Structure 1
């Protein structure tokens, strides 16, 4: 292995397929690989709790390299890995922003951090400190603390402090802001045409606050800010060095958003984007959810060529590797896992986040209709259900699941005469078929209770009894079920 390969390995964080650590990962860790990122598909199936499955993976990873970075996207709420199979015990950012109690946000983050530590995870790719300034945003939504930059900054700082007090490195993302986009960077390259004054007022303050609070990592976005650079932030020295390092004073690890996302992969490929990102000032390359063995090899070859042709310098590569290595050493020396997580924090926050509109306790078991559309790739197939907690409280008369192909409202409600109806939606305002379905259903049953498990914008589509939970986490659906049960 060449000296440059050793430096590259220190900057790589791939994913892998399957629910066991493959041999190539343990070999690469022995050769200096920085660490790995775990995804929902690594949890497999069966009755064992997801956190226990994560622990079995992290045990294997840290047996191969005790100071390995093990990262997950554990935002709480809709984006969870430890509770991917059951739904999260903690509300996500929007719910916390609605409650607007920074001490409670820090308490929730500390509880998440405690769960992560016990599972052997030492890097949380959270919190999102994007300001959700465009309600059409297809990928942020309930992952943001809200639309006010100052409030997002306050809660972002609280989340960073809570996670890092638990011994988990926090990651402020997606620098310098993904909240004003109308394109999902998993699927394309978002472009924000705001002028620099608007950007500095609207998008930048929460990142400045997180840096000031000592956040360990900052994650780049695959987003173009035309007022600052023609390149997406992940590939922009203007943003990663001139702005983040020199102006904001960030001294920690700059980690890329996943390089398998179309926002950078489509134009450059994973290896090409990796080289450009390192040259622009990134330190840790998150390669994405695919099996990373060949991607790691491709990046090593591409970096070797870039060193030869002068696109990348060995000093820049060594600087990046040094920052990542220092983070690994500090986390490895952090000591034992904290005490049992404060699960009450999630329940307190979930109850406080509920916003009923003329909603009354159900008079008896209800027909529950859940409109289900595909979630974005950050959320994945994490579980959500309102029918299950209602059933546990004796309030489920039946369940109808509705997709884009039906059934129609008239058919779904045909057997509900004399039975209470609960209509469950999750960002219905984003799609024509869901808007139409919901409005037809409410016209047929104006007494139905509409429960919005996504953005509260859904409640603007209809009048009548309704409830906004500000997320689909299990703790939020249980709180909603309690309210509907009159508890």
Structure 2
């Protein structure tokens, strides 16, 4: 609990420091939830030595199995603290909270997220899909969502996502899979009600604002790269496809992702959708799309898959094996593999064993696994540092 509460003290103070408590338009005018302890007026962060270098050194000393576990984000539908602690004792890099994990009260949720932390010196990534509106796991989130934000000034997006980020952090959660960078003007699209804009430029402005706001509190995530807007269909049940060219993508669907990357998003979630003119494979399994994200967009953070269980749900025979999907995703360039749909308490361990076997057989290079593990560990170290190492700044004055 100490690590998670420390973050809330820092982020609550950050609200005062940056003036983010100022009421804004619509539902976003609500103030972020109060801290459980009175926060200091302002805070300052100590200089960090560089989590990337520390992560690289740590990964060098890890076994292949430890590296494999560190790139798996698992899930079990439980609110039992002992069961969650036992599950995370496998050394998994992260856990995603779904509706079945959310207890009745915020205090119970803080206890639950604390149970996921086996080693307080290196907490796992604890994630949630907290977009607001249609996709909202935390019941206390009554801030404005994309349904209204796309029609309001950009400042409303900043206010709403500041409040949302603070709420997520207060709960002991440090990763929000919450920023939709897909763009569509088609009301029949399954992503329309979740998108922050109906045109690339409008979406880009709001994605940038949402990212900047959330990064003050949690690690924000852009999704679903390279964008659902051009690919009709719901990836929870199929592999949506489009014949949009790379040039067309660069001029349209790419813009919100570029804006989010430039704003400092910590994670980029790859979707299970195919731009067949670029690669016939789903982007989540496409080395070409990972090259584009790294080389063209300049993204240097953690790349995470959308739920690999969705690939199984597509009904395509070649995607029926979750372990094979995880190996293929890592080989393509993902750093963190996420498994929710169809996951059992044994699934994460099976994925870890499969990744180890793939390295031993040469199907997955040891270098690629180490690279992925290093990126994930660097993010964990950075979030742990910003949680636990903020110090009071008694001489600072709040910004009016």
Q: Compute the TM-score of the two structures, normalised by the length of structure 2.
A: 0.77
Q: Which moved more, 1:268-277 or 1:303-312?
A: 303-312
Aligned partner of 2:330 in structure 1 is 278
Q: Give the conservation status (yes or no) of the 8 Å contact 1:189–1:264.
A: no
Match of 1:253 in 2: 302
Q: Residue 77 in 1 paired to residue 130 in 2?
A: no
Matches within 5 A, 1:449-460: none
2-structure distance, mates of 1:337, 1:264: 42
- 1:204-255, Cα deviation, whole Å (9 max, x unpaired): 1111111111110000000000111011010001001x20011111100001
Contact 1:133 1:180 (8 Å CA) reproduced: no
Paired with 2:155 and 2:205, the residues of 1 have a C-alpha distance of 10
For residues 188 and 255 of structure 2, what CA distance do their matches in structure 1 show?
Answer: 22
Distance 1:328 1:264, change over 3 A: farther
In 1, Cα distance between equivalents of 2:126 and 2:342: 16
Residue 230 of structure 1 aligns to a residue in which SS? coil
Would you say the 8 A contact 1:190–1:263 is kept in 2? no
How far the C-alpha of 1:63 sits from its partner, in A, is 5.0
1:111 matched residue in structure 2: 163
Pair 80,205 (structure 1): closer, same or farther in 2 beyond 3 Å: same
Query: Residue 236 and residue 149 in structure 1: after superposition, are their counterparts in 2 closer, same or farther (change >3 A)?
Result: same
Change beyond 3 A, Cα 1:137–1:337? farther
CA–CA separation in structure 1 for the residues paired with 2:256 and 2:357: 37
Distance in 2 of aligned mates of 1:304 and 1:336: 33
- 8 Å CA contact 1:15–1:36 kept in 2: the answer is yes
For residues 265 and 69 of structure 1, the distance between their equivalents in structure 2, rounded to whole angstroms, comes to 27
Whole-angstrom CA distance in 2 between matches of 1:264 and 1:222: 11
- Of the two structures, which has the highest relative contact order with CA contacts closer than 8 Å and spacing of 6 or more? 2
Equivalent in 179, 199, 203 of residue 253 of structure 2: 203
Write out per-residue CA displacement over residues 77-123 of structure 1, whole angstroms, 9 at most, x where no aligned residue: 1211111xx7x411211311111x22221111111111111110000
**CA distance, structure 2, for counterparts of residue 78 and residue 91 of structure 1:** 11
Q: Is contact 2:219-2:266 (8 Å) kept?
A: yes
SS in 1 for 2:236: coil
Could you say which residue in structure 1 is the equivalent of 2:194?
A: 143
Alpha-carbon offset, residue 298 of structure 1: 1.9
Counterparts of 1:65-464 in structure 2, within 5 Å, are: 65=120, 66-83=122-139, 88-99=141-152, 101-138=153-190, 140-166=191-217, 168-240=218-290, 242-262=291-311, 266=315, 267-268=318-319, 269-335=321-387
Structure 1 residues 235 and 113 mapped into 2: Cα distance closer, same or farther (>3 Å)? same
Q: What is the aligned-residue RMSD (CA, Å)?
A: 2.1
**Structure 1 residue 73: Cα displacement:** 0.4
Partner of 2:110: 55
Give the 3 Å change call, closer, same or farther, for CA 253–281 of structure 1 in structure 2.
same
Inter-partner Cα distance in structure 2 for 1:79 and 1:337: 32
* Residues paired across the two proteins, number: 325
Cα distance change, pair 135–195 in 1 and its aligned pair in 2 (3 A) = farther
Q: Distance in 2 between matches of 1:128 and 1:11?
A: 23
Contact 2:85 2:117 in 1 (8 A): no
Q: Determine the structure 1 residue equivalent to 2:101.
A: 42
1:94–1:146 CA contact under 8 A, matched in 2: no
| Alignment partner, residue 18 of structure 2 | none
Structure 1 partner of 2:92: 33
Deviation at 1:188, TM superposition (A): 1.1
Separation of aligned partners in 1, 2:112 and 2:230? 36
Could you tell me which runs of 5 or more consecutive residues in structure 1 were left unpaired when the two chains were aligned: 339-487
Distance 2:312 2:249 in 1: 20
Residue 31 of structure 1 deviates from its aligned partner by 4.3
Q: Distance in 2 between matches of 1:42 and 1:161?
A: 28
Larger radius of gyration: 1
Distance 1:22 1:198 in 2: 50
Distance 1:246 1:264, change over 3 A: farther
User: 1:336 and 1:7 mapped to 2: Cα distance?
Assistant: 24
C-alpha displacement of 1:39 = 0.3
1:4 to 54, 61, 64: 64
Cross-structure match for 1:458:
none
TM-score by length of structure 1 reads: 0.63
8 Å CA contact retained: 2:237, 2:313: no
Cα offsets for 1:449-473 (capped at 9, x unmatched)? xxxxxxxxxxxxxxxxxxxxxxxxx
Q: 1:152·1:206 contact (CA, 8 Å) conserved in 2? A: yes
**1:34-65: CA deviations, max 9, x gaps?**
12000011225xxx33x333222102112554
